[in-house]
Amino acid sequence: MKKRTLLKTTLGLAGLMTFGLANAQTALKFQLDWRFEGPAALFLTPLAKGYFKDAKLDVTVDAGNGSGGAVTRVASGSYDIGFADLASLKEFHANNPDAPNKPVAVMVVYNNTPASVMSLKKTGIKTPTDLNGKKLGAPVFDAGRRAFPIFAKANGIGNVQWTAMDPPLRETMLARGDVDAITGFTFTSLLNLEARGVKAEDVAILPYADNGVKMYGNVIIATPKLIKENPEALKAFLKAFTKGAKDVMANPAAAINDVKARDGIINVALETRRLQLAIDTVINSPDARAEGFGQLKGPRLSLMASQVSDAFGTKTRVNPDAVWNGSFLPSVAELNVLPKR
């Protein structure tokens, strides 16, 4: 009897170990580019709905303070995956050629850069050339300001005068008339202007994407370690994310509840509008529908690499082949998530 009991106990423990291994979850730390605002729903919704868990992933999502920070944190190994502007990733590669752990872009989320030049219509700025001789404002690290030489070259803009300020003052200074125009992400600055009493119909917007600048925007980046040691976990993450992104685009209002669950003081109506603006302008854009969600085109990637090298004055030229690896993307059928316009 003792032998039989011992055998049952041994078999039971073995079964528990097998069950545990079969249901083990891979822990992944994810770094956002910014605070828990509307667009963060793209990652918080698949987390809240259990899509990552179903893929045997234990994902944590943390707020960020800019694309540059997201790139460096993933490069340091503090995070396995992140969300960052592709230009910032390229700059890191070119300025740190000997860095041992340069992150790699594995999926495009914002097919177009969200950067734009915004002004009050009363200034008379209607076209890019109207910016000649004007006073522009933005933080020195603003993506739109740093890429402005590309915008200027594409539109024949000569001299402009720059005023630097901290991010919270950018829209305030435009509303007060301290500057003629600002650069920033459309879905951020437009809503910030409204919060300062400026009506949307009184704002003139010159999106980079509509004025000759075909730069990609934010991408999902991953560490070389994850790519090499656990490619299946990366594939599972991107597949679960894509499933969640489809839900977000189908019902942005519902998805904002997942953002509010992480930051209870957000303005739900405002963040719903921000998310919808992001979807309409850079996620479900004409370029995204032409190229396919999550994907990119080699010639466009190479052109952007050259533009970033010139505009950012990098130490070395950006190598487009080193910053992108699309082999972990879900199938074309699974990537067919963009809602019809």
Q: Do 87 and 136 fall within a single domain?
A: no
pLDDT, tens digit (0-9, with 9 covering 90-100), for 244-265? 999 999 999 999 999 999 999 9
Whole-number average pLDDT of the chain: 93
Residue 332 domain-assigned (yes or no)? no
Q: Per-residue pLDDT averaged across 266-273, rounded? A: 95
Other residues' Cβ atoms within 10 Å of the Cβ of residue 205: 14
For residues 86 and 218, is the Cβ–Cβ distance under 8 A? yes
d(C-alpha 107, C-alpha 84), whole Å:
11
Q: Do 70 and 187 fall within a single domain?
A: no
Place of tokens 């059928």: 333
pLDDT, tens digit (0-9, with 9 covering 90-100), for 164-182? 999 999 999 999 999 999 9
How does strand 135-137 pair with strand 161-163?
parallel
Q: Do 184 and 277 fall within a single domain?
A: no
Place of tokens 């528990």: 16
Give me the number of domains the chain comprises. Answer: 2
Residue 12 domain-assigned (yes or no)? no
Q: Where are the alpha helices (DSSP H) in the chain?
A: 2-22, 41-48, 51-54, 67-76, 86-95, 143-146, 148-155, 170-176, 186-195, 224-229, 231-250, 252-260, 268-278, 286-291, 298-312, 320-323
Q: Do 230 and 317 fall within a single domain?
A: yes
Q: Do 254 and 178 fall within a single domain?
A: no
Q: Do 80 and 124 fall within a single domain?
A: no
Containing structural domain, residue 93: 26-112+216-323
Among residues 152, 176, 210, which one ends one of the domains? 210
pLDDT at 15 over 90: no
Residue 319 pLDDT: 97
Among residues 175, 210, 245, which one ends one of the domains? 210
Q: Do 307 and 194 fall within a single domain?
A: no
Among residues 158, 182, 210, which one ends one of the domains? 210
For residues 320 and 305, is the Cβ–Cβ distance under 8 A? yes
Q: How far is CA 39 from CA 176, 215, 253, in A?
A: 28, 19, 12
122: CATH: 3.40.190.10
Residue 18 domain-assigned (yes or no)? no
Residue 14 pLDDT: 52
d(C-alpha 165, C-alpha 148), whole Å:
16
Q: Do 233 and 190 fall within a single domain?
A: no
Higher pLDDT, 312 or 21: 312
Residue 302 domain-assigned (yes or no)? yes
Residue 294 domain-assigned (yes or no)? yes
pLDDT cut 70: percent of the chain above it: 93
Residue 66 pLDDT: 87
Residue 21 domain-assigned (yes or no)? no
Residue 157 domain-assigned (yes or no)? yes
Q: Do 97 and 194 fall within a single domain?
A: no
For residues 125 and 157, is the Cβ–Cβ distance under 8 A? no
Q: Do 179 and 234 fall within a single domain?
A: no
pLDDT, tens digit (0-9, with 9 covering 90-100), for 16-28? 454 454 568 999 9
pLDDT cut 90: percent of the chain above it: 90
Q: Do 164 and 203 fall within a single domain?
A: yes
Residue 19 pLDDT: 47
Question: Can you say whether the dihedral through the CA atoms of 228, 230, 236, 237 is positive or negative?
Answer: negative
pLDDT, tens digit (0-9, with 9 covering 90-100), for 91-137? 999 999 999 999 999 999 999 999 999 999 999 999 999 999 999 99
Contacts of 312 (CB under 8 A, 6+ apart): 87, 91, 94, 146
Residue 297 domain-assigned (yes or no)? yes
Q: Do 183 and 312 fall within a single domain?
A: no
Strand (E) or helix (H) holding 105:
strand 104-108
